[in-house]
């Protein structure tokens, strides 16, 4: 479905992504793990095209010179250089780190804004699905986005991304700062989205353990480079990974 190869991103002369290749097949959940500043968000921005927007804005304001190199093939088309809105229209929707919900709008309005690309019937159907997936949102329909708790905001952010009718959903650190209970709820919901809607998902996290059970293939980033990739079991059984990302030492 999506195949990115040789991705390089430079901020001035600093290398943020170093020769990374990512693949995501139809109906697959792919995990990208790594510590802070390993390049997870940069990767997500590059895939979703937000990097193009950042690059353009920096260029206009005379700020940092950002260079993006490599190929991204999506559904057989080269999408490198496409605007983020064009990529969203093709079905690549990013649910960003720190959620970025519309804080002054109510829950229902957030979801309606998310449905910009959806037809009327799609929007209605997805809205019902979102409320089914995250029942608390239905109860909080009229609540202003900024007043939601972190977990509720994350549900809203995922629901809003679903409203945009994605074929490939990019989830950037959806579990950041949430309680284990909410984390497991979100992980289950993520699998549900794939199983019930057939949406492919790329998910990033710092800490792999809560997400790994639903991930079929994983990449591990360090300092902008992929140091390891493999199926869930391959990653799980790698001794370095076990100690660094799961907090498990070899007994």
Partner 1 sequence: MEIIIYGTINSVALALMALGFALVYGISRIPNFAHGALYVITGFITWIFLRALNLNYAFSIVLAIIIAGIIGAFIYQFILIRVRGMSISEIIASYAIGLAILEGFRWGGFKGMTYTLPVFIEGTFFIGDIPVDVHRTLVVIIGAGVVTFLWLFTRYTRLGLALRGMAQDERAALMLGIDSDRMAVVAMAIGSMLSGLAAIVLLPLGNIVVEKGYDVLIQAIAVCIVGGLGSWVGAVLAAFIIGFAQILTVVYLGAHFQMVVALLAIILTLILRPSGLFGRQKELEERV
Q: Under the rule (CB under 8 A), what is the footprint of partner 1? A: 48, 50, 53, 57, 60-61, 83-85, 88-89, 93-96, 100-105, 109, 112-117, 160-161, 163-164
Distances (CA, A) of 158 to 20, 24, 38, 108, 137: 26, 19, 23, 13, 11
Query: CA 135 to CA 110: how far, in whole Å?
Result: 16
Taking the complex as a whole, the smallest distance from the CB of residue 178 to partner 1 amounts, in Å, to: 19
Phi/psi-derived region of residue 27, left when phi > 0, alpha when psi is between -120 and 50, beta in every other case = left
Q: Which is nearer to partner 1, 105 or 238 (CB)?
A: 105
153 or 245, CB closer to partner 1?
Answer: 153
Tokens at 114, concatenated: 């998310």
> From the CB of 86, what's the least distance to partner 1, in Å?
8
| Burial class of residue 14 in the structure, from the number of CB atoms within 10 Å of its CB (0-12 exposed, 13-18 middle, 19+ buried) | exposed
Q: Which is nearer to partner 1, 118 or 226 (CB)?
A: 118
Residue 244 Cβ, how far from partner 1 at the closest point, in Å?
A: 30
Structure tokens at 231: 């199926």
Comparing CB distances to partner 1, the nearer of 49 and 235 is 49
Q: How far is the CB of 161 from partner 1 (least distance, A)?
A: 7
Residue 93 vs 137, nearer CB to partner 1: 93
Nearest approach, Cβ of residue 20 and partner 1 (Å) = 21
Q: Taken in order 229, 53, 49, 124, is the CA torsion positive or negative?
A: positive
Report the interhelical angle of 150-163 vs 107-114 (nearest 10°): 30
Structure tokens given for 242:
């076990």
């Amino acid at each position: 479905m999506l195949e990115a190869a040789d991705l390089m991103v430079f901020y001035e002369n600093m290398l943020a992504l170093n020769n990374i290749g990512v693949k995501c097949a139809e109906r697959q959940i792919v995990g990208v793990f790594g510590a802070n500043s390993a390049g997870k968000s940069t990767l997500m921005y590059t895939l979703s095209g937000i990097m193009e927007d950042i690059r353009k804005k920096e260029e206009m304001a005379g700020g940092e010179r950002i260079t993006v190199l490599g190929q991204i093939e999506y559904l057989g088309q080269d999408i490198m250089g496409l605007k983020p809105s064009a990529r969203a229209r093709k079905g690549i929707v990013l649910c960003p780190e720190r959620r970025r919900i519309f804080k002054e709008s109510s829950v229902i309005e957030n979801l309606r804004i998310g449905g910009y690309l959806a037809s009327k019937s799609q929007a209605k159907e997805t809205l019902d699905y979102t409320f089914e997936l995250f029942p608390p949102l239905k109860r909080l329909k009229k609540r202003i986005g900024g007043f939601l708790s972190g977990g509720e905001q994350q549900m809203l952010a995922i629901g809003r991304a679903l409203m945009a009718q994605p074929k490939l959903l990019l989830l950037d650190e959806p579990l950041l700062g949430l309680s284990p209970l909410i984390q497991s709820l979100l992980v289950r919901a993520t699998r549900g989205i794939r199983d019930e809607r057939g949406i492919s998902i790329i998910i990033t996290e710092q800490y792999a353990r809560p997400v790994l059970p639903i991930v079929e293939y994983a990449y591990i980033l360090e300092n902008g480079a992929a140091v390891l990739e493999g199926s869930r079991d391959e990653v799980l059984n790698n001794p370095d990974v076990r100690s660094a990302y799961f907090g498990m030492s070899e007994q």
